């Protein structure tokens, strides 16, 4: 099996896309979109990260196993976030201090 | 690929392909570990940002968006040069490998230098958490309590600090790779090391891709 | 022991004498030698941790605080917990037994990254040194759980040095896990499919997943504690609006899964022992294999059961409680599968088997009390009492340590080529079993009575149970000390064991004992399952030469 | 106490429930442990190895058995989960008429304040048969208030309130322990809870323990701390109306609504700007460091006692708080 070699063009395009997304995210930060600000910001960050992972880090051409490692570690992180936040978001629901 | 006398083959592997696959899996598993490491801080960020939204906005206004954006561009650029460096190694272009490693090194160092100036500015403004911390909010931030402000800056320093530490390690590793690169040790058959390092460098870039909006761009309007 | 042993010869060239000199050990990349390095250092830490336990038990003999001062007592149990958990129980099975047999079992010459394996050991030693330094300076008194804000603001002990030690040691653990994962994926011999892997491999694989995904979180949590103490960051500081409960989340996100790091490899050992000493394949192989993975995965979703009274939201507690109950099911499955493995088997009473059977009984009690603790209404009474202390010693000592000793007695002849005295080893197994129960069973009772843990003195009415416990601990101590004598003795004077003293199947028993540095002359081809006793066929083919089984 | 103790006293309404859980679990554990032990011993004897080269007969598995031993423990666990959760909620939810005591933990003592204002250290006197709610906080590290004979405990955290409730059923003297490790004297941070018949309790209270009821103390603080300058109700008020605030929903400037509980009141006083009420400027100064935990408790007790006003009642109501039970 030989290694996949991406073209310089691919890399350059990804680079440009990342720069453009950075510019957009800075620009959007100055608009008042209410709660949408965070959504846009995070969506752009996730998009940028995905580009880096897929192309700079070659996951687009990697084995299934590596894709699995990438996806499952992200998933694990989300589990940690979700379960911990479940505590913070439901504290006080019972209306009894500290329960 | 034949398994006889491959120059980079370690004794306990049967074939170089097996070795290459092992190295890349190993690197990815290492990055999974890194994700969880930074994840702990992102979790703390999430908890406190939902608890003290105003303090986070006030703190964010105290960060220099220009420097942040500049550094983001620098890091993305270094990711590009790194990717090209790996490509050069894959193709066995010795001089290109060296060139791109040096470019990456320079960009990485620029990032660190800018970070240094940002940190020292915080120092001058008493924004280092601890005894001497004092936050002067203006306008609508005049009354933001000091405690949560300290938490914002604690997170800022912890997150960017561990990120910078990773950058420093990266820079050292590049220095370490320059010699073998110059000697032409990285060839189409044998570039695991450069490739693995590339993964690390891109990962550090990704962390910053999240840190930048989360720290610098809150409530700017 | 099978008759094969009597005629065996000690091989001339093997991994122990392949190269000479202390440097050849300190710079070795051979997984077997690294296992021996771990064996020596982990045992030392165990002795030290045991010594601390003895101090704790002696102090608790009487209700008044007469032997130690409160500060010394607090340091004793903290050092006991830190040493035992981070420097003994986490590495003990994977880094000693796993390192030694994992590559051989799957037909590989070494782990995927031998240098990183050695680095793991150095990190372990570095972490250990920091901890020992802290201890020599006067110790730490935060409890092994490092709860903020006590650890960050109020404690006057060597928290920082210990935190650095634990932090570094975490990376040792991570690298071991990384090595195992890659090795199991990439280094299996031809024909060694996933469902031909011995269950010990499955267990270690599952463990490695936990090491990779959990350890970094405790590393960052401890790092933040250290930074809060030294540079004044304020992430968990209630005086600045921080939430100390957040630290508990981060800590237990790792430290609950960590208890499965401690027990899963031990469970793998038990699977091997039950098969070998019943001369039969493990009942329901696939179910046991999947249970390991299920425990590793589900084990991540239950950490909040340590926080039922911490001020965590009640609704979150409910979710954690039910998930904890669910994670107990795969363990239950395993216990039943192991027990029924003996059914229709050919059961021997060799020392490793005695340990394995001890494990079954004690782990069952430990596990059942664990499920009791997961019951919300019950935990609010027994949380942070000796009931919890009894629970975790039952699973950790009665479970993991028993399994480790079983595994050590099982693979000892493979590691050093010689047998230990059978009589003494059986005596020691009995002493451990009896001493253990005497030490820790009374703690269930005194715990339910309400004796809080980490108490240096206690009301008089609890004394009777504490006396029993201290008495048991001394028996237990003797039980643990004995092996170090006869095992060392056997290195020189033991009977030559031969390649396969137990008549076991499994690739590791096809190599000479001790094995040569490269394990196999050539990579074996595997043609059968891991526990094919009944067929009596040869299942491994070495190029040119056939290996015998049974 | 004579003889060898096996079980703690049952001295609260929930103690019996917790013990019932315990006994059922003990029975389940005994059954399963004996089952496993029995199997082991039987198989050991029955299938003892007879000759050196004997090997076992292959039995690969049995689907029905495996389903049984996954299913039965599962059912038992789920049943115990539901039961345990029910008990847990009973222990977590104080009855509406519970009498509120304040507990402050501090290295290494418990400071306790009765609704009447009486103060004690490390001891807690309570009447039998009356639901009691403890609202607790800590001045330094995490502690945990543990009453084994009542089968309850709750961590006590700095910077936050937690609570615990019980109804004592049996007069007597029982242990109070600190169950969360808190430093050198952790094992001495305890005392006794004295459960007394009602009349005795009243008598004990009138035994000259000084102190003002928290509501009264709070009312005084409200004016000495100048709270009343801003919170005086009426259109001229710079701060929001505090009458009927507790338990209501407040709209915040950030757009969120929040339910007013102890934690919110505490935060509003200590770091007022953390959650600004919609329609108000963040004028209120912080009181962090200017109030002791007890004073804070009193202020909160006072604010909680303010009834909802009908119509535009105005200043008077603030000046004259409702009379509350209990004399000092
Ligand atoms: C090796 C380590 C290990 C293992 C394997 C376990 C296993 C389990 N533990 Fe334990 N635990 C610890 C180590 C371990 N624990 C430690 C160190 C602490 C204290 C930390 C500290 O605070 O310092 C602790 C504390 C602890 C608590 C917190 C108590 C408290 O502080 O209040 C809880 C609560 O749920 C718990 C639950 C469980 C459960 C449900 C299991 C389950 O995985 C057990 C599953 C096993 C079985 C169930 C037995 C076999 C089953 C049968 C024979 C069939 C019949 C079964 C049923 C009918 C259910 N543990
Ligand atoms: C792997 C884990 C492990 C192991 C093996 C043990 C083993 C033992 N433990 Fe430990 N224990 C913990 C993990 C472990 N413990 C943890 C995590 C805690 C919680 C700490 C905390 O609260 O922070 C704890 C707490 C703990 C307490 C509660 C302290 C308190 O809350 O105040 C007690 C009390 O009896 C105790 C006793 C024992 C005993 C008697 C042994 C015995 O099994 C030990 C027997 C072994 C020996 C005795 C060694 C043999 C050697 C010698 C006798 C010779 C002496 C040495 C030389 C010659 C150098 N342990
Ligand atoms: Cu207070 Cu322990
Ligand atoms: Cu747990």
pLDDT digits (tens, 9 = 90+) for B71-89: 999 999 999 999 999 999 9
Q: Testing the interface with B: which of D256, D269, D271 to mutate, by most B Cβ within 10 A?
A: D271
What is the per-residue DSSP string for C301-366?
G-GGGG-TTTT--HHHHHHHHHHHHHHHHHHHHHHHHHHHHTTTS-B---HHHHHHHHHHHHHHHH
Structural element, H or E, at residue C270: helix C244-278
pLDDT of D155 higher than 60: yes
Contact B36 A32 (CB under 8 A): no
Q: What is the model's pLDDT at position D72?
A: 95
Nearest ligand to residue C252 Cα: 4
Ion ligand 4 — residues with CB < 5 Å: C 256
Q: What is the model's pLDDT at position A41?
A: 92
Which chain D residues touch A92 with a CB distance below 8 Å?
259, 261, 263
What ligand 3 atom has the least distance to the C-alpha of D105? 1
Contact C224 B158 (CB under 8 A): yes
Cis peptide before D108 (omega within 30 of 0): yes
Instruction: Using a pLDDT cut of 90, give the percent of chain D over it.
Output: 45
For the stretch C34-86, pLDDT in tens is: 999 999 999 999 999 999 999 999 999 999 888 888 899 999 999 999 999 99
For the stretch C206-261, pLDDT in tens is: 999 999 999 999 999 999 999 999 888 889 999 888 999 999 999 999 999 999 99
Of C425, C544, C514, C496, residue with least CA distance to C101: C514
What ligand 3 atom has the least distance to the C-alpha of C452? 2
Contact C150 D17 (CB under 8 A): no
* C349: number of Cβ within 10 Å: 12
SS3 C142: coil
The mean pLDDT value for D95-108 works out to 92
Among protein residues, the one whose CA lies closest to atom 46 of ligand 2:
C50
Which residues, numbered 128 to 167 in chain D, qualify as contacts with chain C under a Cβ-Cβ cut-off of 8 Å?
140-142, 144, 146, 148-149, 151-155, 157-160, 162
Nearest ligand to residue D179 Cα: 3
| Sheet containing strand D99-106, strands side by side | D119-121, D109-113, D99-106, D131-138, D162-167
What confidence category does residue D5 fall into, taking pLDDT thresholds of 50, 70 and 90? Answer: confident
User: Based on the number of CB atoms within 10 Å of its own CB, is D48 exposed (0-12), middle (13-18) or buried (19 or more)?
Assistant: middle
Nearest ligand to residue C363 Cα: 1
Of A50, A87, D204, D27, residue with least CA distance to B202: A50
Cα(C308) to ligand 4 centroid in Å equals 11
For CA atoms C10, C16, C17, C21, give the dihedral sign.
Answer: negative
Shortest CA gap B41–chain A (Å): 11
Q: CA-based angle D131:D132:D135, to the nearest 5?
A: 145
Question: Picking from A15-29, A69-83, C236-250, D266-280, which range would have the lowest pLDDT averaged per residue?
Answer: D266-280
pLDDT of C534 higher than 80: no
| Helices B192-211/B16-51 angle, 10° precision | 10
Q: Testing the interface with C: which of D56, D134, D146, D159 to mutate, by most C Cβ within 10 A?
A: D56
For CA atoms C536, C537, C539, C543, give the dihedral sign.
Answer: positive
The mean pLDDT value for C482-495 works out to 93
Compute CA B32 distance to the chain's CA centroid, rounded to the nearest angstrom: 15
pLDDT of A9 higher than 80: yes
The Cα D269–Cα D266 span in angstroms is: 5
Q: What is the model's pLDDT at position D235?
A: 63
Q: What is the ipTM of this complex?
A: 0.90
The mean pLDDT value for C267-294 works out to 93
The Cα C55–Cα C72 span in angstroms is: 10
Which chain D residues touch A97 with a CB distance below 8 Å?
135, 161-163, 261-263
Q: What is the model's pLDDT at position C549?
A: 41
User: Based on the number of CB atoms within 10 Å of its own CB, is D314 exposed (0-12), middle (13-18) or buried (19 or more)?
Assistant: middle
The mean pLDDT value for B44-55 works out to 91
Q: Decide if D315 touches B, using CB distance below 8 A.
A: no
pLDDT of C3 higher than 50: no
What is the per-residue DSSP string for D120-176?
EESEEEEETTSEEEEEEEESSS-EEEEEGGGTEEEEE-BTS-EEEEEEB-S-EEEEE
In terms of DSSP bridges, do strands D99-106 and D131-138 run parallel, antiparallel, or are they unpaired?
parallel
What ligand 2 atom has the least distance to the C-alpha of C469? 35
Is the CB–ligand 3 distance for residue D106 below 6 Å?
Answer: no
Which chain C residues touch D58 with a CB distance below 8 Å?
280-281, 533-535
Of D35, A14, C419, residue with least CA distance to B209: A14
Q: C122 Cβ partners below 8 Å, 6+ apart?
A: none
Q: What is the model's pLDDT at position C542?
A: 44
For the stretch C355-387, pLDDT in tens is: 999 999 999 999 999 999 999 999 999 999 999
Which of C216, C224, C240 has the CB atom closest to B147's CB atom? Answer: C240
pLDDT of D81 higher than 80: yes
First-last CA distance in chain D: 35
pLDDT of D316 higher than 50: no
Contact B53 D288 (CB under 8 A): no
pLDDT of D258 higher than 90: no
What confidence category does residue C421 fall into, taking pLDDT thresholds of 50, 70 and 90? Answer: very high
Q: Testing the interface with B: which of A18, A84, A89 to mutate, by most B Cβ within 10 A?
A: A18
Structural element, H or E, at residue A50: helix A36-51
Is the CB–ligand 3 distance for residue D182 below 6 Å?
Answer: yes
Of C284, C195, C267, residue with least CA distance to D65: C284
Q: What is the model's pLDDT at position C7?
A: 56
What ligand 2 atom has the least distance to the C-alpha of C473? 40
What confidence category does residue B191 fall into, taking pLDDT thresholds of 50, 70 and 90? Answer: confident
For the stretch D205-250, pLDDT in tens is: 877 666 677 888 888 888 877 787 788 766 667 788 888 888 888 8
SS3 C63: coil
Pocket of ligand 1 (CB under 6 A): C 145, 259, 262-263, 305-306, 324, 327-328, 331-332, 335, 364, 367-368, 370-371, 373-374, 379, 383-384, 388, 391-392, 395-396, 399-400; D 28, 32, 36, 73, 76-77
Contact A98 D259 (CB under 8 A): no
* B114: number of Cβ within 10 Å: 16
The Cα C482–Cα C405 span in angstroms is: 12
Residue to mutate (ligand 2; options C40, C43, C53; most atoms within 8 A of CB): C53
SS3 A57: coil
> What are the CA-CA distances from residue B119 to residues B112, B167, C228 (Å)?
10, 15, 18
Q: Decide if D271 touches B, using CB distance below 8 A.
A: yes
Q: What is the model's pLDDT at position A13?
A: 95
Which residues, numbered 220 to 249 in chain C, qualify as contacts with chain A under a Cβ-Cβ cut-off of 8 Å?
245-246, 249
Q: Testing the interface with D: which of C328, C346, C356 to mutate, by most D Cβ within 10 A?
A: C346
- Closest residue in C to B153 (Cα) is C233
- E-state strands within C84-222: none
pLDDT of D3 higher than 80: no
What confidence category does residue C269 fall into, taking pLDDT thresholds of 50, 70 and 90? Answer: very high
The Cα D5–Cα D2 span in angstroms is: 8
Is the CB–ligand 3 distance for residue D189 below 6 Å?
Answer: yes
Shortest CA gap D276–chain B (Å): 10
Which chain B residues touch A63 with a CB distance below 8 Å?
21
What is residue D69's DSSP assignment?
H
pLDDT of C550 higher than 50: no
Is the CB–ligand 3 distance for residue D180 below 6 Å?
Answer: yes
In terms of DSSP bridges, do strands D143-147 and D172-178 run parallel, antiparallel, or are they unpaired?
antiparallel
* Subunit partners of chain D (3 or more CB pairs within 8 A): A, B, C
CA-based R_g, chain B, Å: 21
Among protein residues, the one whose CA lies closest to atom 1 of ligand 3:
D143
Q: Tell me the longest C-alpha to C-alpha distance in chain B.
A: 73
Of B37, B30, B49, B74, residue with least CA distance to B209: B74
Contact A74 B65 (CB under 8 A): no
CA-based R_g, chain D, Å: 27
Which of C150, C342, C376 has the CB atom closest to D141's CB atom? Answer: C150
Q: What is the model's pLDDT at position D204?
A: 85
Q: What is the model's pLDDT at position C433?
A: 96
Q: What is the model's pLDDT at position D310?
A: 62
Structural element, H or E, at residue D195: strand D191-196
Cα(C250) to ligand 2 centroid in Å equals 25
* D248: number of Cβ within 10 Å: 12
What confidence category does residue C490 fall into, taking pLDDT thresholds of 50, 70 and 90? Answer: very high
What is residue C150's DSSP assignment?
I
Q: Decide if D286 touches B, using CB distance below 8 A.
A: yes
For the stretch C435-481, pLDDT in tens is: 999 999 999 999 999 999 999 999 999 999 999 999 999 999 999 99
In terms of DSSP bridges, do strands D257-259 and D162-167 run parallel, antiparallel, or are they unpaired?
unpaired
Q: Decide if A52 touches B, using CB distance below 8 A.
A: yes
Q: What is the model's pLDDT at position B32?
A: 95
> What are the CA-CA distances from residue B205 to residues A72, B38, B78, D78 (Å)?
20, 13, 9, 46
SS3 D321: coil
Q: What is the model's pLDDT at position D327?
A: 30
Cis peptide before C149 (omega within 30 of 0): yes
Which of B53, B142, B145 has the CB atom closest to D271's CB atom? Answer: B145
CB C518 within 8 A of CB C14: no
- Closest residue in C to A77 (Cα) is C213
């Amino acid at each position: 099996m030989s290694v996949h070699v991406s073209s310089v063009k691919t890399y350059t395009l990804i680079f440009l896309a990342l720069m453009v997304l950075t510019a957009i995210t800075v620009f959007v930060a100055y608009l008042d979109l209410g709660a949408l600000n965070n959504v846009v910001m995070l969506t752009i960050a996730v998009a940028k990260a995905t580009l880096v992972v897929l192309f700079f880090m070659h996951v687009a051409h990697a084995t299934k196993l590596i894709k699995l490692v990438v996806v499952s570690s992200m998933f694990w992180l989300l589990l940690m976030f979700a379960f911990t936040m479940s505590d913070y978001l439901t504290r006080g629901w019972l209306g009894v201090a500290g329960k | 690929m034949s398994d006889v006398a491959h120059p980079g083959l370690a004794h306990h592997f049967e074939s170089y392909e097996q070795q290459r696959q092992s190295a890349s899996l190993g690197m990815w598993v290492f990055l999974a570990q890194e994700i969880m490491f930074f994840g702990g801080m992102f979790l703390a960020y999430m908890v406190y940002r939902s608890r003290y939204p105003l303090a986070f906005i006030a703190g964010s206004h105290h960060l220099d968006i220009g420097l942040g954006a500049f550094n983001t561009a620098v890091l993305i650029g270094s990711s590009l040069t790194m990717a090209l460096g790996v490509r050069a190694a894959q193709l066995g272009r010795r001089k290109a490998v060296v060139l791109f490693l040096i470019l990456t090194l320079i960009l990485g160092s620029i990032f660190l230098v800018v970070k240094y100036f940002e940190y020292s500015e915080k120092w001058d403004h008493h924004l280092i958490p601890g005894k001497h911390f004092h936050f002067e909010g203006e306008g609508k931030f005049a009354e933001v309590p000091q405690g949560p402000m300290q938490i914002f800056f604690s997170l800022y320093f912890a997150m960017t600090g561990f990120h910078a530490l990773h950058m420093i390690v990266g820079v050292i590793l590049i220095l370490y790779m320059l010699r073998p690169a110059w000697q032409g040790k990285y060839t189409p058959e044998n570039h695991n090391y450069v490739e693995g390092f590339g993964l690390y460098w891109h990962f550090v870039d990704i962390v910053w891709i999240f840190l930048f909006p989360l720290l610098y761009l809150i409530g700017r309007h | 022991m099978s008759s094969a042993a009597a005629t065996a010869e000690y091989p001339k060239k093997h991994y122990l004498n392949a190269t000479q000199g202390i440097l050849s050990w300190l710079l070795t990349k051979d997984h077997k030698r690294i296992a021996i390095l771990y064996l020596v250092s982990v045992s030392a830490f165990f002795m030290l941790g045991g010594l601390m336990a003895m101090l704790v038990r002696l102090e608790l003999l009487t209700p008044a605080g007469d032997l130690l001062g409160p500060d010394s007592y607090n340091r004793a149990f903290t050092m006991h917990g830190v040493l035992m958990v981070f420097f003994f129980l986490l590495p003990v099975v994977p880094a000693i037994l796993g390192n030694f047999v994992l590559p051989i079992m799957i037909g590989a010459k070494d782990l995927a990254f031998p240098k990183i394996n050695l680095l793991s050991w150095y990190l372990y030693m570095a972490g250990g040194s920091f901890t020992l330094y802290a201890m020599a300076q006067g110790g730490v008194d935060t409890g092994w759980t490092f709860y903020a804000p006590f650890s960050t603001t109020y404690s006057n002990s060597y928290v920082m040095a210990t935190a650095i030690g634990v932090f570094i040691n975490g990376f040792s653990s991570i690298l071991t896990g990384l090595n195992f994962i890659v090795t199991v994926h990439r280094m299996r011999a031809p024909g060694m499919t996933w469902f031909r892997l011995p269950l010990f491999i499955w267990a270690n694989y599952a463990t490695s997943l936990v090491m990779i995904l959990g350890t970094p979180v405790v590393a960052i949590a401890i790092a933040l504690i250290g930074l809060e103490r030294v540079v004044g960051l304020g992430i968990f500081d209630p005086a600045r609006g921080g939430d100390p409960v957040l630290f508990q989340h981060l800590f237990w996100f790792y430290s609950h899964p960590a208890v499965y790091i401690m027990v899963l490899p031990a469970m793998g050992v038990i699977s091997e022992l039950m098969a070998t000493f019943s001369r039969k394949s493990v009942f329901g192989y696939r179910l046991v294999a999947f249970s390991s993975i299920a425990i590793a995965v589900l084990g991540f979703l239950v950490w909040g059961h340590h926080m039922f009274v911490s001020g965590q939201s009640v609704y979150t507690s409910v979710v954690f409680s039910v998930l904890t109950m669910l994670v107990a099911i795969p363990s239950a499955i395993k216990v039943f599968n192991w027990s029924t493995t003996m059914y229709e088997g050919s059961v021997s009473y060799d020392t490793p088997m005695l340990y394995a059977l001890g494990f079954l009984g004690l782990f069952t009690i430990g596990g059942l009390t664990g499920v009791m603790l997961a019951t919300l209404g019950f935990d609010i009474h027994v949380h942070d009492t000796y009931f919890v202390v009894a629970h975790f010693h039952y699973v950790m000592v009665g479970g993991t340590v028993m399994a480790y000793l079983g595994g050590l007695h099982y693979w000892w002849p493979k590691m050093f080529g010689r047998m230990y005295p059978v009589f003494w080893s059986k005596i020691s197994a009995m002493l451990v079993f009896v001493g253990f129960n005497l030490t820790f069973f009374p703690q269930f009772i005194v715990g339910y009575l309400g004796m809080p843990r980490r108490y240096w003195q206690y009301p008089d009415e609890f004394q009777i149970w504490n006396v029993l416990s201290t008495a048991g601990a001394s028996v237990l101590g003797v039980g643990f000390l004995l092996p170090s004598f006869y095992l060392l003795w056997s290195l020189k004077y033991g009977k030559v064991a031969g390649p396969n003293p137990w008549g076991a199947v499994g690739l590791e028993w096809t190599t000479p004992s001790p094995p040569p540095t490269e394990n196999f002359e050539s990579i074996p081809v595997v043609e059968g399952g891991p526990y094919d006793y009944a067929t009596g066929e040869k299942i491994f083919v070495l190029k040119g030469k056939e290996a015998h089984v049974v | 106490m004579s003889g060898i103790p096996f079980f703690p006293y049952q001295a609260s309404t929930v103690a019996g429930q917790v013990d019932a859980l315990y006994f059922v679990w003990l029975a389940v554990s005994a059954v399963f442990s004996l089952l496993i032990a029995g199997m082991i011993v039987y198989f050991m004897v029955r299938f003892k190895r007879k000759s050196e080269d004997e090997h076992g007969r292959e039995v690969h598995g049995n689907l029905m058995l495996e389903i049984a031993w996954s299913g039965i423990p599962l059912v038992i666990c789920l049943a115990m989960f539901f039961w345990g959760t029910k008990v847990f909620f009973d222990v977590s939810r104080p009855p509406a008429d519970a009498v509120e005591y304040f507990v402050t933990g501090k290295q290494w003592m418990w400071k306790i304040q009765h609704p009447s204002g009486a103060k004690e250290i490390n001891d807690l006197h309570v009447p039998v048969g009356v639901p009691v709610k403890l609202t607790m906080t800590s001045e330094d590290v995490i502690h945990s208030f543990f009453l084994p004979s009542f089968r309850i405990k709750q961590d006590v955290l700095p910077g936050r309130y937690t609570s615990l409730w019980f109804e004592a059923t049996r007069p007597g003297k029982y242990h109070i322990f600190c169950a969360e490790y808190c430093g050198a004297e952790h094992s001495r941070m305890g005392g006794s809870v004295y459960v007394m018949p009602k009349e005795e309790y009243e008598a004990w209270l009138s035994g000259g323990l000084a102190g003002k009821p928290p509501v009264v103390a709070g009312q005084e603080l409200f004016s000495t701390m100048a709270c009343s300058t801003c919170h005086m109700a009426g259109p001229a008020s710079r701060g929001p109306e505090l009458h009927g605030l507790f338990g209501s929903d407040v709209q915040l400037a950030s757009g969120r609504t929040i339910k007013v509980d102890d934690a919110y009141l505490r935060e509003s006083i200590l770091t007022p700007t953390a959650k600004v009420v919609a329609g108000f400027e963040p004028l209120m100064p912080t009181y962090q460091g200017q109030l002791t935990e007890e004073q804070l408790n009193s202020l909160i007790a006072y604010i909680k006692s303010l009834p909802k006003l009908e119509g535009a009642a105005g200043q008077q109501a603030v000046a004259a708080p409702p009379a509350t039970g209990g004399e000092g």
